[in-house]
Structure 1
Amino acid sequence: MHNALTRVQNTFGLFTTTAFIVGILVALSDFIAPRTPSGVIKPNELKVVMGRPHYYSPKKEEHASIRFSLDADLSSLFNWNTKQVFVYVTAEWPESDGSDVMNSVVIWDSIITAPSSDHLSNVGPATMKKLKRSAEGKSIDPSRGLLKLKNQRPKYQVTHPSGKIANLENVKLRLHYSVQPWVGILTWNQDSDLFKWSALKGAVSKAFSLPSVKAKN
């Protein structure tokens, strides 16, 4: 005859096993939902100056500021298992010494939460009320993931360990994303198609060069 403790242990074991199996099924269900992200990005205003890129920088150095425009559709990344999507833009360029080293610097980022996780955003009451209203009657608000930025100011400056950044060639802007699910593993933008998940289309600017250091008035 099983005692009370044994029955509690059996019940708890059944619960955890069931929860584990359900979690695996939910994580695998992501592959059923198609992903077709796309975007167009281009630089608008380029500026290179000499100074301290941050208030805590120990010395003056060359740093660049790149304004850009972005038109992206990442709405297909949101489904029943999406908690939030981390979006960021990088400036990339090859090392000037002819090696295969590629430099990459984040210049802008943002977090887009799903309607079910809006409480995780640090927003005010008015914005929260608007977000909840937009998601009423919908499993996923279709406006989530639609980015239309014009002449966007960068959050971060472009620097290099050498302190030299002016007149760089073959610089490109690239859009990236990272999907954080409620259950499962983190996924990033893909280089190739995988089942119903398509690689990020476009989202890379044409190559451009940074200007010379701006002269002081």
Structure 2
Amino acid sequence: MHTFLTRGNATVAYTLSILAGLTFCCFISTVFLDYRTNARINTVKILVKNMPDYGSSREKHDLGFITFDLETNLTSLFNWNVKQLFLYMTAEYKTAENVLNQVVLWDKIILRGENAALDFKSMHTKYYFWDDGNGLKNNKNVSLYLSWNIIPNAGLLPTVKSHGGHIFKFPAEYTAAPM
């Protein structure tokens, strides 16, 4: 009748079909969940300096320094289909040259089983807040948002923005650069 290889191939193909169906059921069971939650962000200290950018040119660009507080509880986001969360804080602002500027200032990875209730005080940004011109000084409408990517076991990789952000302004004068 059928050879050993034909029967083995049919068994493997059937098993893979069943596993694909089960993976799809796992995906569909969590795809419609709302993964948004509240986050409270507050700026503590805000400075802006006009510094030479040695990475791309010798021109002087604005460099912002922010110290912030962050409080949120992300434990409700974890279910059986969430392996980890990739958190990142972005600053969004408008300048004369660009309608929308987005800069990632801070990030963190939270694995399943780790403490997901965050309460950070006087945190410094992890990455430089460079502007590609002089758009930070006296900018009155800079918004901070906490967002995250959910890394699932099966399914889509959604990007979610938290409820609540923080709007602040940069000072009208540059802070003196250290000598």
- TM-score bucket of the superposed structures, by smaller chain: 0.7 to 0.9
Deviations along 1:25-47, whole A, 9 cap, x unmatched?
11112147664521111111101
Deviations along 1:146-205, whole A, 9 cap, x unmatched?
111111100112222225421112111111111010111101116xxxxxxxxx322x01
RMSD (Å) for aligned C-alpha atoms: 2.2
**Equivalent in the alignment of 2:20:** 20
**Equivalent in the alignment of 1:184:** 155
SS in structure 2 at match of 1:105: strand
Q: Distance in 2 between matches of 1:216 and 1:13?
A: 66
Deviations along 1:122-168, whole A, 9 cap, x unmatched?
xxxxxxxxx6xxxxxxxxxxxx3211111110011222222542111
TM-score normalised by length of structure 2? 0.87
Cα contact 2:93–2:141 (8 A) shared by 1: yes
* Count of aligned pairs between the two proteins: 176
With 1-10 and 156-165 compared, the bigger mean Cα shift is at 156-165
Name the structure where strand makes up a greater proportion of residues: 2
Q: Distance in 2 between matches of 1:64 and 1:12?
A: 58
**Equivalent in the alignment of 2:138:** 167
Amino acid at match of 2:81: N
Q: Distance in 2 between matches of 1:52 and 1:175?
A: 29
Q: Distance in 2 between matches of 1:66 and 1:86?
A: 21
TM-score normalised by length of structure 1? 0.73
Identity of aligned residues (%): 30
Deviation at 1:52, TM superposition (A): 4.5
Cα contact 2:94–2:101 (8 A) shared by 1: yes
Q: 1:209 aligns with which of 166, 169, 177?
A: 169
Alignment gaps of 5+ in structure 1: 116-130, 132-143, 191-199
Higher RCO (C-alpha 8 Å, min separation 6): 1
Q: Distance in 1 between matches of 2:177 and 2:31?
A: 55
Closer, same or farther: CA 189–34 of 1 in aligned 2, 3 Å: closer
**Equivalent in the alignment of 2:104:** 106
Q: Distance in 1 between matches of 2:111 and 2:87?
A: 11
